[in-house]
A and B are shown apart, each in its own frame.
Chain A
């Protein structure tokens, strides 16, 4: 069974701090790893990673994948109160009977205080 574990489960910081969220995984046939932000209802897409060592960046957010050690990190620099959300990590399976399956982790609840 595919497995995705995120840490920490929750994090409280102050505006301006930098945070690192972790995602480790076990999957039979890895295709990609995805990060999402969920504020109210529908998760919104942040990044999709398929290759090791290549950083993806969008504003103050960045993410990188290590396929040898089976983990990814999501960094947020100079946090703002609007970054408060649940951050979700998911892994896509590429093979066999689990082709197309996307498994999510438990999520990290980030709270940014002013």
Chain B
């Protein structure tokens, strides 16, 4: 079955530690996206990538980093510079600019 896999489902970290969230897709989609969701704030765009080895900052990129070394993978690193990292993180992909986003099931990150 084709889809987007995010792992882990729940992640707990101590303040000051970097953490990497995994996102893998087997849909052969070119574009991939990372969003953050907080209560009452909808989805906010962190980073997006249209092709391998290229990515753009979204609206809230500070404190995050990404890489796109392979078409199927778009990992997100939450660095210690991110002030409020506790949130629900959603990864998505799509195959063209005239198609909708497909979402993974998300990773809930808690930093204490």
On A, residues with C-beta under 8 Å from B are: 1, 6, 9, 31-32, 34, 36, 41-45, 48, 50, 88, 90, 92, 94, 97-107
Contacts and interface: CB of A to CB of B under 8 A. Distances in A.
B84 to A, nearest CB: 17
Nearest to B103: A42
Contacts of A97: 56
B53 to A, nearest CB: 15
A48 B45 contact: no
11 contacts: A31-B98, A32-B98, A42-B106, A45-B102, A88-B43, A99-B50, A100-B97, A101-B48, A101-B56, A102-B33, A106-B42
Nearest to A105: B42
A28 B50 CA distance: 18
B45 A94 contact: no
Interface of B: 31, 33, 35, 40-45, 48, 50, 56, 58-59, 90, 97-106
A45 B40 contact: no
Nearest to B101: A102
Contact of A106 (B40, B99, B101): B40
B35 A92 contact: no
Contact of A6 (B42, B56, B106): B42
B34 to A, nearest CB: 11
Nearest to A5: B42
A91 to B, nearest CB: 11
Given A100-B31, A103-B59, 13 more contacts: A31-B98, A34-B100, A42-B90, A43-B43, A43-B90, A45-B101, A88-B42, A90-B43, A90-B101, A92-B97, A101-B45, A104-B44, A106-B40
B105 A42 contact: yes
B104 to A, nearest CB: 6
Contacts of B101: 34, 36, 43, 45, 90, 102
Contacts of B56: 97-98, 100-101
A103 B103 contact: no
